[in-house]
A and B are shown apart, each in its own frame.
Chain A
Amino acid sequence: MKIAVAGKGGAGKTTISGTIARALARSGHDVMAVDADVNPMLGISLGLGMDGTERLAGIRQELSESGAEDAIHEHTIDGLIERFGEDAPDGVRVVVASRVDMPDHGCLCCGVSADRLLREMEAGGRTVLGDLEAGIGVLTRMQTGSLDVVLVVANPTPKSIEVARRAAQTAVSREIRVLVVANRIAGEEDLAAIRSVLGEHEMAIVPEDAVIARADAEGVAPIDLDENAPGVRAIVAISERLVALPV
């Protein structure tokens, strides 16, 4: 199964991606988390800490600076995962796709597109989860049917809802299933704001949660801080919903 997470910057994509990856791994799935953001931070919400996350981004950098990139051109996708990847808690494997100082789309070593990367990594029955760059750029470059589902994360603010609307519309036009995640919901008014624009789509609701805010402030994985916090439980429930989807 191939899942991608999209939305406006700051909407909670990375927190939701990391927590879903951990939850899927805990329920026995072989999870490949792909940090497809040119500003990679998925490591934080997976539980690798700020330093571990920066190191992970550095592996990608060092490989191209050392010229090793050319040497691994012909490697299989498994070989690439082996070289670029890092183990996160619960057995999640994580890779960073793009260099911070030389942004290019997708690509581990030879400029493959993000959707091809996700497709190839699915081989061997992996569950692939891609945390995309803020905005809709990567989605607009995706081919029809290249993902099983896109989680479109929306906060109850006008700009976040507008970006989510464009992301959902883009995914639908590519025949990709959309699940809107209404995030940081503090009350009926918040939910109504999101529903009024995105009401036609399937939706999951994640409540505003002080535990998630504290995890982000401290640079730890929310699921490690308190797996029973309402926000964390709501995200874990999304992972269960994803597993139940027909592929």
Chain B
Amino acid sequence: MKKFLLTASAAALALAASAGYAAARDQIQIVGSSTVFPFTTAVAEKLGQSGKIKTPVVESTGTGGGMKLFCQGVGENTADFTNASRAIKDSELKTCKANGVTPVEIKVGFDGIVLANSKAGTVVDLTKEQVFKALAKNVAVDGKVVPNPYKNWSDVDASLPATKIEVLGPPPTSGTRDAFVELVMDAACQEEVKAANEKGCGEIREDGAFVEAGENDNLIVQKLEANPNAFGVFGFSFLDQNADKLQGHKIDGVEPTFENIASGDYGVSRSLYVYAKKEHVGVIPGMQEFIAEYTSEAAWGPDGYLADKGLIPLPDAERAKWAENAKALKGMGS
């Protein structure tokens, strides 16, 4: 027993020591947005199947968390790519630069943010203004800014059903939330609210009408199925994959369909990005192969496999431009 204990502890020590001297990394590490995650993983898997390189490891950390890990510095212990459901912020770029990281920006496609409910619920035709009035923390009533008094959709506009306002949406840490605030709440902000508080437009009510449902979009889908009166705010790919259970609603008269988002008619859509670390090209094997695979027509083209996963492709000219940029490894701010 004594011997066993000794060998076991020796083994444990050896194991712990060996970990410190890990061999050079030969596998790409990717972090970032949960919205881009399904697309990046598909590319990673395709590349792994081809046998050219080891399949990259993809983590879903959220856009902000990904940026933090990505901009941490250069070296084997830092991520090679980060997914982002918004463009990199100036402050993040500054951190990157300070740590010697040069990001190469690749815009990979669009994602629509949809307002959807269960097929058992009613179909509504909303405007951004109505969504703002239903969800903002403070709204203007008769020229005065007051805490949101609306309880039912019919209070917002007489044409809407007399059901309780109940919207499930992403928490503030989510890129989807950022985009929703920017594209709907800020865009449709009432003058009085803006005048009263510069940041007041982006504040979403906290009295129970808007429920933060976590980053797990699947959970929102299940909750919507259970409650036909509730609405959900999430990415188009989830609506696309759950078309048998959910229906998307028109916003400003445009239906959230693949075609409408691709053409830019649907107002609530955002761009998705992948950032590559220029310093790691040639150091970590497969960086260029990964960029080439992501920007190939077979992946991000209109008939590519990413479109099957719900990514909405960029227009032809833009795709060509971004592919060119990526190929040339044009770093940001350099």
Partners in one complex: no
B binding-site residues for A, Cβ under 8 Å: none
